[in-house]
Each structure stands twice: as structure tokens, then as C-alpha cells.
Amino acid sequence: MSRASTPPPLTAEDEALLTRLRDLSLVDLDALLGGTSGEQYANLLVTYADDLEDALKTARARQLELGKAVAGDPLTLLDAPYTTRARDGGREGAERVTRRLIGRAASARALARIDDLAAALFPRLLEADRRRASLP
């Protein structure tokens, strides 16, 4: 049996999203807003909160896509009779299942990375929202 090649773990778009989420996670809200007041404070806070919200919405959309790739049963061929699994010496079925499992594993790893960063950012959005809600 030839082993299917492992797909790239992340797309260029995934890498860009992860970089954006990572960059936003480095922002300390108190340090960002320190030394500002009035309209400058409000504008900076709103801009930061909007950027966080947009990044998290983008992450959510990608999480949903990756979740679909992770869902399902790549081993459904197990339910087929052995005669079906053994067709073509089993090579075709083995390659198909291997490709599906490798693809699912890559999607699961990408999903986990996005989930980890989103989990760290969501409380920051809520803190920014709390401060934004108290603006005059």
C-alpha cells in the first residue's frame, strides 16, 4: 500500500488568520489605552474592539468549515463486507481511507490552533465591550 502524502497543515489564509489572532493577543488593552482620554480613548477602544470582533468572526467562519471537514466517519469502509474491502487487493480502499484520515487529522490540527487563539481573545473582546458600554 502506498501512503498518501500528508496535506499542508494550514493554508496561506489560515496562516494569515493565525497571525492576526496572535498579533491581537499581544495587545494589552490597558497599555493601548494608557495616556489617552476623551475622544482619542473612545476611538482607540472602538477600533480595537471592532478589529477583535472581526477577527473572531473570521475565525468562527473558518472553524465551521474545518468542523465540517473533521465531521463524518472516514472509516465507513469498515461497515462494508470484506469482499468489498478486498476489491482491487484492498489498495483503492486503503488509499481512500488513508487520505480521508490524513485530511481529517490536518483539519483537526488547524481547528485546534484557531480554537486556542480564539479562546484567548474572546475574553479580551468582552473586556473591550464592557469598557465601550461605559463610554458616555
**All structural domains of the chain with their residue ranges:** 12-133
Answer yes or no: are the C-beta atoms of 18 and 115 closer than 8 Å: no
Q: Tell me: the pLDDT tens digits for 61-110?
A: 999 999 998 998 999 998 999 999 888 888 988 999 999 999 999 999 99
Contacts of 2 (CB under 8 A, 6+ apart): 91, 95
- Round to whole Å and give the CA distance between 26 and 59: 17
φ, ψ for residue 116, nearest 5 deg: -60, -45
Q: How far apart are CA 128 and CA 49, in angstroms?
A: 6
User: 0.95 cut: is pTM over it?
Assistant: no
